[in-house]
């Protein structure tokens, strides 16, 4: 539990920094490169200590994870450039478990239990409270943008969480190696696009180099802690505990970025978190 709660704090913190930068693709690319350099000493130590072998499953899961994480980061950063942190972040973190639950009902034919219904209703209630949609479309534009990018981000979260959970639990792939291999594939996949944006690349390095370094340190650390926790606890326990970051993210958006409706969005986040917990009990 300590691992997961620490990960929640780190996750909310790096998302706050990402929101402040409003970075584009070169920002994400530089972040991946910085992460691999920062974590290379840890990889070296683990390789010597555990005699790690590099297998075909590692290549496959890191490639698929890379594609899903790229989608996640690109959509998330686009959302942060277009809407408030306290809207995008809780919707992203809340819709991931919700979409996983719906998929389990539709495709795996899992039974709909009372706790599942309660969880579903709580998350829907939280979304309605956080958005406070009006009947005037001009008032809805920014909120709807936040909803769209939040839910899309949640979809990628659900997909890469499932992919990486299988890699760690079924194939015993090291979370650190999976994360760094994923980063390496992401650098390769993004390079043809980023290297054509030299001016944007220089601007990001000049303006946000220290934020890039901090995010490069915090983002993998948060995720590696979650993957490590999955070795010792089921996903139904780890997932809801991880999403306590929702409350931190909304609090930071309200206090640090001075976003409006902080109290209402915090109440909505409590409802969403309660819904995630109820789904985990199903």
pLDDT of residue 228: 84
Poorest-confidence range of 62-76, 125-139, 152-166, 227-241? 125-139
Global pTM?
A: 0.84
Query: What mean pLDDT is reported for the chain?
Result: 84
Question: What whole-number distance in Å separates Cα of residue 158 and Cα of residue 135?
Answer: 31
pLDDT at 110 over 70: no
Residue 262 or residue 239, greater confidence: 262
Question: How do residues 153-208 score in pLDDT, each as one tens digit?
Answer: 999 988 998 898 889 888 888 889 999 999 999 999 999 999 999 999 999 999 99
**Position 262 pLDDT exceeds 90:** no
**52 pLDDT exceeds 80?**
no
Contact 229, 256 (CB under 8 A): no
Has residue 222 got a pLDDT over 50?
A: yes
Q: In whole angstroms, give the CA distance from residue 107 to residue 279.
A: 17
- Tokens standing for 273? 């978190």
Nearest to 181 by CA among 30, 39, 18, 19: 39
- CA 4-232-103 angle, 5° bins: 75
| CB atoms closer than 10 angstroms to residue 151 | 20
Give the distance from CA 137 to its chain's centroid: 29
Cβ(252)–Cβ(88) below 8 Å:
no
Show me where the domains of the chain are located. 2-280
Alpha helices, H only, 132-244: 137-169, 175-194, 198-230, 235-242
């Amino acid at each position: 539990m300590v691992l997961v709660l620490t990960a929640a704090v780190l996750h909310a913190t790096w998302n706050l920094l990402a929101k402040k930068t409003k970075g584009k693709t070169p920002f994400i690319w530089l972040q991946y490169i910085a992460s691999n350099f920062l974590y290379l000493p840890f990889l070296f130590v683990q390789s010597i200590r555990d005699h790690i072998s590099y297998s075909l499953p590692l290549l496959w899961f890191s490639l698929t994870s890379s594609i899903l994480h790229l989608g996640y980061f690109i959509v998330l950063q686009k959302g942060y450039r277009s809407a408030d942190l306290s809207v995008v972040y809780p919707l992203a973190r809340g819709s991931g478990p919700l979409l996983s639950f719906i998929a389990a009902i539709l495709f795996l034919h899992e039974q709909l239990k009372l706790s599942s219904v309660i969880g579903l209703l709580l998350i829907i209630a939280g979304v309605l409270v956080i958005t406070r949609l009006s009947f005037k479309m001009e008032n809805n534009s920014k909120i709807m943008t936040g909803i769209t990018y939040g839910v899309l981000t949640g979809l990628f979260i659900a997909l890469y969480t499932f992919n990486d959970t299988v890699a760690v639990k079924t194939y015993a792939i090291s979370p650190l190696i999976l994360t760094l291999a994923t980063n390496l594939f992401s650098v390769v996949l993004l390079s043809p696009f980023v290297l054509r944006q030299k001016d944007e690349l220089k601007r990001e390095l000049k303006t946000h180099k220290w934020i890039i370094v901090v995010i490069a340190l915090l983002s993998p650390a948060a995720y590696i802690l979650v993957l490590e926790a999955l070795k010792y606890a089921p996903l139904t326990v780890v997932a809801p505990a991880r999403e306590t970051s929702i409350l931190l993210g909304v609090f930071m958006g309200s206090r640090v970025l001075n976003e409006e409706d902080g109290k209402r969005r915090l109440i909505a986040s409590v409802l969403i978190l309660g819904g995630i917990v109820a789904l985990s009990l199903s």
